[in-house]
Structure 1
Amino acid sequence: MKVNRIRRGGWYGVTKKDHAARDVSNRYVNRDLSWLQFNRRVLEEAQDPDTPLLERVKFLSIVSSNFDEFMSVRVAGMIDQIKAGYQKKDFSGYTPSGLVKRIMKRTGELVHDQYKTYRELMRLLAKEGICCVSEYDDLNATQRAAMDRFYHDIVFPVLTPMAVDQSRPFPLVHTLGVYLAVVLRRDGDIDEEPYFAIVQVPSILQRTVQLPRRQNSKKLEFILMETIIKRHIHSLFTGYVPIAVHSFRLTRNADMTLNEEGAEDLLEEIEKELRKRRWGSPVRLEIEKGMHPYALEMLQEEFEVDDHVFVYDGPLDLTFLMKFAATLPGYDALRYPPVKPVYPKELVDEEGKAGGDLFAAFTKQDVLVHHPYESFDAVTDFVTQAAHDPKVLAIKMTLYRVSGNSLLVQSLQQAAEAGKQVTVVVELKARFDEERNIAWARRLEQSGCHVVYGLVGLKTHAKLLLVVRQESSGLRRYVHVGTGNYNDATAKLYTDVGLFTSHPVIGEDASALFNEMTGYSAPRDWKALSVAPNGLRDQLFRLIRREADNARAGKPARIVAKINSLSHQEIIDVLYEASQAGVKIELIVRGVCSLRPGVPGLSQNVRVISIVDRFLEHSRVFYFENGGDPEVYIASADWMTRNLTRRIELMCPVFDRKIRQSLIHLLELALRDNVKARELLSSGAYARVKGGGAPLRSQFEALKIEKWKVR
């Protein structure tokens, strides 16, 4: 069997003049090629010498985890289209087959740079006294003895050699697991065809193993688990001689195809699909450099991935570096200084106590919480107080991604056990969090909560919390609307905003939205909120076109939007129209952007920047000049087709003037960033912003704002 089309290195030059000229002729940037540009920006953070060394190691890990999801979902979907014979071009001009070829080429070249960066970071870590030993023979006698004992006592008992021959078919290879391909011959037989087996590197054990210190050395030394297993591979195949042992890793299709209409029980249907995910069709094969040809032939024949094989000059699956860099003790100088989120000052009483009577505080004023600079504890405390307040009658909440040990869920359980009406809309289809959400749903139901799994055909992505309380003046609704998930862990890593309000109109809309999600309510004529899939897209069209009308009338016209992704063709077209009308449009788009800015006659008034920094930019904030009477909104939705047509999303106006000004200030900070911002060029490439004046790093500047200073 001929082995061919293996992806190797090189940097795909998107800035080449011929390529740029060809791309500008298209009105749109392909969303998947734009995503690769985003992952390139993440890699650039790993390459930035001004970023602390262990933080650079984390960014390198993120590049790998990003690729894993991209390949198992986006590329897997394209491969399914190719197999089905689908060859229609998307709005950016690509057929599935043409796009996959381009993606694989650019991915191979980006990964080449990733591993080049890995070797550089390992060299720099060694200078700091942190060494990863790649060869077993480099260990001294004491270290070898310790690793031999470690293998015999801990590793060997959990290993399972799996032979492949006529009587034993190829075993199941789990997606994204690291395996060893072993080529053997029988002891004494030289001319026979080799034997083949695989061994899984156990994921239950830590990937990096610390070695005993050398005498009179302060260096910390580590070795990878697979290096230990390779050295002792003979112990698994007595009577056979190992010829070659090399690592490989398979990525399978992880996208679920649900028959929601025909499913009698959505939870059971999702559990069934999760089991099927183990046997998803192969998408990508990653192999170690120098793999034995016979082993590669066996793998390619089994997985049928001739076109999608990647050769790595280094260890497979660099996602292990995240935990390694985060847990390494005693090297704080190689990390960012810790940020301790502060409690929102509006919720601290006169005695300095945080989280006093939150209901009284929210009755008095709306409160904006900006994560990670301000603590997520404000949200947790609000639910906890509601759970124990005898005046609270009902709590309703959406849950999309929840942390592993969620205090929010525990408080909801306590509220239900206390007899309150607790309704939770749990999104079981949150990709890669399905199993965790199923577990939470069952726990909530056991506590007496009403659990709803969302609507058929739609994901519930809105971030909404409603508390109904009996007060002397009557029932009052308290609402929290967020841009990020109700997840205390990611709230320390993502930039998000949340609005607490007791505004009666927002409260009425929130009640109506929950009724739609849980019952049979017709779509509402919303008074404050805009909700997808029925009205949010059209409301965005109206707001953008209003700015265009104002520009034509000579009135102030400006749009500033901070989102994660922009790939909705109609939204892009309306933005193009507004640009041509003279509207100044500034977009802060962290990831995918299919709009092409700066094209004369099309988008000359549009500027797009992306910020990749210490925290993941995740908030969605929209500003519309409105002829000199600005309006500001926060939302759960990006400007993507899936968000505006296949999900329940919401956009909420900010009525409080001071909060509007705070959000506008945050937008302006991002637009002035000249340290971590990259600007999207009309060619589709990104270039670092080169602003005049003093360096301004928007995330670090946000830490200095008086409201979020550690007191």
Structure 2
Amino acid sequence: MSGAQKYINRDLSWLEFNRRVLEEAEDASTPLMERLSFLSIVSSNLDEFMSVRVAGLQEQRKAGYAKTDFTGYTPQGLLKRITKRTFRTVRQQYKVYRELMKLLSREGIELTNVQELDAEQKALIKMHFLEIIYPVLTPMAVDVSRPFPLVHSKELYLAVVLKPEGQVIGTEEKTVCAIVQVPSILSRVIPVRCRKNSRRSCYVLLEDLLKENISLLFSGYTTEAVHAFRVTRNSDLTLNEEGAEDLLQEIEKELRRRKHGLPVRLEVEKGMHPHALQLLKEELELSPEDEPLEIEGPLDLGFLSKFVSMLPNVDHLKYEKTEPVYPSEFDEADDILSVLREKDVLVYHPYESFEAVNDFILEAAADSDVLAIKMTLYRVSVNSVLIQALAGAAEAGKQVTVVVELKARFDEERNIAWARQLENAGCHVVYGLVGLKTHAKITLVVRREDGALRRYVHVGTGNYNENTARLYTDAGLFTSHPDIGADASALFNEMTGYSTPHDWRSIAVAPIGLKDKLFELIDREIEHAQAGRPARIVAKMNSLSNQQMIDKLYEASQAGVKIDLIVRGVCCLRPGVEGLSENIQVISIVDRYLEHSRIMAFAGGGEEEAYISSADWMTRNLSRRVEILCPVYDPAIRRSLINLLQLNLQDNVKARRLSSMGAYVRIDKEAQAPLRSQFAAAELGLWKTNSNAKA
């Protein structure tokens, strides 16, 4: 079979995932404010995809690289497919936007054009412009003495075409062009005082207000045209880690260079003046293959998420609020460590509170018998309790070691700030290993007890981030199991010192042994299937794109192993292909929360095993990152995880099944009662061992 017959291309699969996000904005059963938020997510997703994945493909095209990848695509051919699908998705996105604006208007909320305001409203909004906006603006002329300015990535600008006063509009002589940045420091959406006796709320966009008053910036000229545009630049960092004397300084230098990355995409307002459009094409030096994306509507719908957050009295148009529950195992105990001396505890976010993780660190920081705390940090929230707790522990004299991943994409600046704060507090801060990202999520607490040392460990599938823990589904395991504790110590010694790879007792660690461990587990299921014993794999992850892993799953399918995959995003495996993957089923769930947990279960010939992991089954996770695969030894927790996976597999409301042709189709639920796994899991305990969920 050819590559295209055996595999689905990673980038095209990602575009299909973003299309599934857009479907949530289209879904009339989704609350209106949530539909707007999904529409915003589509834009922010596409921004990152363009600035990283498409940017890399464009670099390959410019370098003349013409080899096909394992899915059968050359960079040139793949870019054509991406462009076609992207344009189609964006057109649909703006069609949905216009529909949602009508629904918003029916709710008494109007996002309107300045020209549609009455005289009193126009006067008030102009006063706002003169007092708040005008002083911030910087018009930038483009001529011989004033070269084209640096246009920042993903910022909104206006291209203004001008004629000297007295010149007939429409003639080509003395046409000039200027650029005005729409200030990102100001709110993109501006409230307007309602008309008298009106119950409606009225808002205008900042760029529309600028257009209405643009002549105030260019005295002596007549405005012929003004249109918005936006540039996306290559945002991937190119680091020389081995040659850098100081990794932190090297990353700071690369962050400054990011502002000057090569343009990848140009978005322009539909009907842009040809003079302005030609100027942008020439100055940005866009390739002829990279045509500007004309948009009928406001550029960058990412503003919708902030717009939703500023609207008053719209809770009835959102999902019903739910508060995470503090884990019952810890709720009545005097302290967390005393519970962990007796048993392991699983915490499943966002249904159970991240406060348990905070309390674990806070208690350890305050405990006089705790000697050391070691932790990895990848993406941390702005006002992190954990940072304060770690700093406090170091100031109290404990040995505190923090592995901060400075290369976490688009969080580099925040992580640099955290690293400096922790260092100033006396923590030992390590920036990870050269050439690898530290993506593992693990915390180790070492405590003196009865003349000996006991280790307490937290291993998670998600970041140590209080904010995303309310929005992402993730699992966290608390344990004092001696083998996991010993491995945790060895892992931190390897990350901070010169220790050679460890002979692990329990966990598996990428990039050296995690993939081999997964292969070993899959091979074992193959042996069970061939011997007629129970053989099944259920694995949940964000992405599956590593060719060797896919081929191993194909091998297992051909041996008769039943495989169920729950893959939220990219999936390069083709399920249901006769003679190749007819024993494999793949579903994707896109719903209220971002499915983020990585959980695996293996039938083991009747002796089930379950694992949680920080790693997706992608090449970068398995070979270029420090990742963890951790076994679950507690039988009750193992059963809870298997119940949780089964709950996902029973979803027939938000799950979509991947066909052998690469299309995602909704599951026919006519013959069965509707089951929405995220809402079912919200009934706390449904997925736990004492629930009625079918195993």
TM-score by length of 2: 0.97
Query: Which ranges of 4 or more aligned residues in structure 1 deviate by more than 6 Å?
Result: none
Question: 1:605 is matched by which residue type in structure 2?
Answer: N
- Equivalent in the alignment of 2:368: 390
- Equivalent in the alignment of 1:404: 382
- Give distance in 2, aligned partners of 1:116 and 1:229: 25
1:267 paired to 2:248:
yes
- Give distance in 2, aligned partners of 1:343 and 1:363: 19
Deviates more, 1:689-698 or 1:446-455: 689-698
SS of the residue 1:26 aligns to: helix
- Equivalent in the alignment of 1:121: 100
SS of the residue 1:510 aligns to: helix
Deviates more, 1:700-709 or 1:106-115: 700-709
- Equivalent in the alignment of 1:149: 127
SS of the residue 2:647 aligns to: helix
1:426 paired to 2:404:
yes
- Give distance in 1, aligned partners of 2:120 and 2:349: 48
- Give distance in 2, aligned partners of 1:80 and 1:593: 24
Q: Quote the offset at 1:473 in angstroms.
A: 5.0
Question: 2:8 is matched by which residue type in structure 1?
Answer: V
SS of the residue 1:575 aligns to: helix
Identical counterparts, % of pairs = 65
- Equivalent in the alignment of 2:587: 609
Deviates more, 1:380-389 or 1:635-644: 380-389
Describe the superposition over 1:432-470 as per-residue Cα deviations: whole angstroms up to 9, x where unpaired: 000000000000000000000000000000000000001
- Give distance in 2, aligned partners of 1:544 and 1:623: 11
Q: Quote the offset at 1:193 in angstroms.
A: 3.4
Question: 1:342 is matched by which residue type in structure 2?
Answer: V
Question: 2:264 is matched by which residue type in structure 1?
Answer: V
SS of the residue 1:87 aligns to: coil
Residue segments in structure 1 that go unaligned for 5+ positions in a row = 1-21, 351-355
Describe the superposition over 1:387-440 as per-residue Cα deviations: whole angstroms up to 9, x where unpaired: 111000000000000000100000000000000000000000000000000000
1:557 paired to 2:563:
no
SS of the residue 1:706 aligns to: coil
- Equivalent in the alignment of 2:292: 309
* Residues 601, 630 of structure 1: alpha-carbon distance in 2 compared, 3 angstrom cutoff: same
1:26 paired to 2:5:
yes
- Equivalent in the alignment of 1:650: 628
- Equivalent in the alignment of 2:269: 288
- Give distance in 1, aligned partners of 2:361 and 2:318: 34
Match of 1:443 among 410, 415, 421: 421
- Equivalent in the alignment of 1:279: 260
- Give distance in 1, aligned partners of 2:176 and 2:331: 70
- Give distance in 2, aligned partners of 1:104 and 1:564: 24
Task: Give the alignment of 1:247-266 within 5 angstroms.
Answer: 247-266=228-247
- Give distance in 2, aligned partners of 1:314 and 1:503: 57
Deviates more, 1:59-68 or 1:83-92: 83-92
- Equivalent in the alignment of 2:318: 335
Describe the superposition over 1:374-395 as per-residue Cα deviations: whole angstroms up to 9, x where unpaired: 0000000110111111000000
- Equivalent in the alignment of 1:319: 302
- Equivalent in the alignment of 2:27: 48
SS of the residue 1:364 aligns to: coil
- Equivalent in the alignment of 1:112: 91
- Give distance in 2, aligned partners of 1:264 and 1:537: 32
* Residues 175, 613 of structure 1: alpha-carbon distance in 2 compared, 3 angstrom cutoff: same
Residue segments in structure 2 that go unaligned for 5+ positions in a row = 689-695
Describe the superposition over 1:653-697 as per-residue Cα deviations: whole angstroms up to 9, x where unpaired: 000001011101110000000000000000001000113311000
SS of the residue 1:276 aligns to: helix
- Give distance in 2, aligned partners of 1:262 and 1:85: 28
Match of 1:625 among 599, 603, 613: 603
Q: Quote the offset at 1:329 in angstroms.
A: 1.3
Question: 1:330 is matched by which residue type in structure 2?
Answer: N
TM-score by length of 1: 0.95
- Equivalent in the alignment of 1:223: 204
Aligned pairs, how many?
682
- Equivalent in the alignment of 2:572: 594
Question: 1:303 is matched by which residue type in structure 2?
Answer: L
1:78 paired to 2:61:
no
Q: Quote the offset at 1:85 in angstroms.
A: 1.4
Describe the superposition over 1:92-121 as per-residue Cα deviations: whole angstroms up to 9, x where unpaired: 000111101110110000100000000000
Q: Quote the offset at 1:327 in angstroms.
A: 2.9
Q: Quote the offset at 1:326 in angstroms.
A: 2.5
SS of the residue 1:445 aligns to: helix
- Equivalent in the alignment of 1:18: none
SS of the residue 2:43 aligns to: helix
SS of the residue 2:341 aligns to: helix
- Are the equivalent residues in 2 in contact too, given 1:24–1:683 (CA < 8 A)? no
Question: 2:324 is matched by which residue type in structure 1?
Answer: P
- Give distance in 2, aligned partners of 1:525 and 1:143: 72
- Give distance in 2, aligned partners of 1:403 and 1:202: 25
1:177 paired to 2:155:
yes
Question: 2:312 is matched by which residue type in structure 1?
Answer: P
Q: Quote the offset at 1:88 in angstroms.
A: 1.1
Task: Give the alignment of 1:658-677 within 5 angstroms.
Answer: 658-677=636-655
- Equivalent in the alignment of 1:211: 192
Q: Quote the offset at 1:707 in angstroms.
A: 7.0
Q: Quote the offset at 1:25 in angstroms.
A: 5.7
- Equivalent in the alignment of 1:683: 661
SS of the residue 1:37 aligns to: helix
Describe the superposition over 1:618-674 as per-residue Cα deviations: whole angstroms up to 9, x where unpaired: 000000100000000000000000000000000000000010111011100000000
- Equivalent in the alignment of 1:381: 359
Question: 2:180 is matched by which residue type in structure 1?
Answer: V
Q: Quote the offset at 1:23 in angstroms.
A: 9.1
Match of 1:575 among 547, 550, 553: 553
- Equivalent in the alignment of 1:239: 220
